[in-house]
Amino acid sequence: MVAKHKPWKTLATKIVHTNPWYKVRHDKFTLPKGKIGNYYFIDFKASVFIIPIEKNSIILEKIYRYPLKKWFLELPGGGSREQKSVLETAKSELKEELGYIGKFKKIGQFVPYNGVSKETCYVFQATDLKFVGCHREETEILKEVRLPIKKVYRMLDEGKFSDGMTMAALALARKYLVKNYL
């Protein structure tokens, strides 16, 4: 059983860094017993991950990630720098990264790293796909990879994915995809 405590009280908040993708925020707060503390966290807009499905396969992307200087197998996704709904963001990310439009269904949502951000990630399934051409950002160096749904989940179970948000999105969608596609 979790004890009910008085929430932390924010005394001051300040943006200490900003760039096109996120802000770093510094909050000064009072703990439940009165001690004053500091918290720094990343202020992201909501993000999306899309599970594009075609002929019992999931379309993934092999993408180069500069911070780790490695290639990763991931679901397409990202966030919007503009004021868009999460559905609009999902549609634009799939079109931008892999060049597809289609029919979207929200599967669920999760909070990827609640200790450093308040970001919520929304997961969508995309079906009835039609290729219309990509419009990738300059930094998005990727290749489309199609894998059968069964193989994707076998790879997930065997620890073959490294991207945590892809793993969480696939885990969230597993029951739905197994029920409807396997």
The answer on 17 and 79 residing in a single domain is no
Which CATH number goes with the domain that contains 83?
Answer: 3.90.79.10
- Domain containing 136 equals 47-181
Look at residues 163, 171, 154, 21 and name the one whose alpha carbon lies nearest to residue 109. 171
59 and 131 together in one domain: yes
Are 23 and 80 in the same domain?
no
In a domain, 30, yes or no: yes
Residues 35 and 81 placed together within one structural domain of the fold: no
110 and 25 within one domain: no
Q: What is the pLDDT of residues 61-103, one digit of tens each?
A: 999 999 999 999 999 999 877 778 999 999 999 999 999 999 9
Does residue 4 belong to any structural domain of this protein? Answer: no
Please indicate, yes or no, if residue 3 is contained in any of the structural domains.
no
Its pTM stands at: 0.91
Domain tally for the chain? 2
Indicate if 145 and 107 belong to the same structural domain.
Answer: yes
180 to each of 72, 74, 125, 175, how far by Cα in Å? 27, 22, 12, 9
* 61 belongs to a structural domain: yes
DSSP designation for 99: -
Is 86 exposed, middle or buried, given 0-12, 13-18 or 19+ CB atoms closer than 10 A? Answer: buried
pLDDT at 2: 61
User: Are 59 and 100 in the same domain?
Assistant: yes
**What's the average model confidence in pLDDT over 100-109?**
97
69 and 137, same domain (yes or no):
yes
96 and 71 within one domain: yes
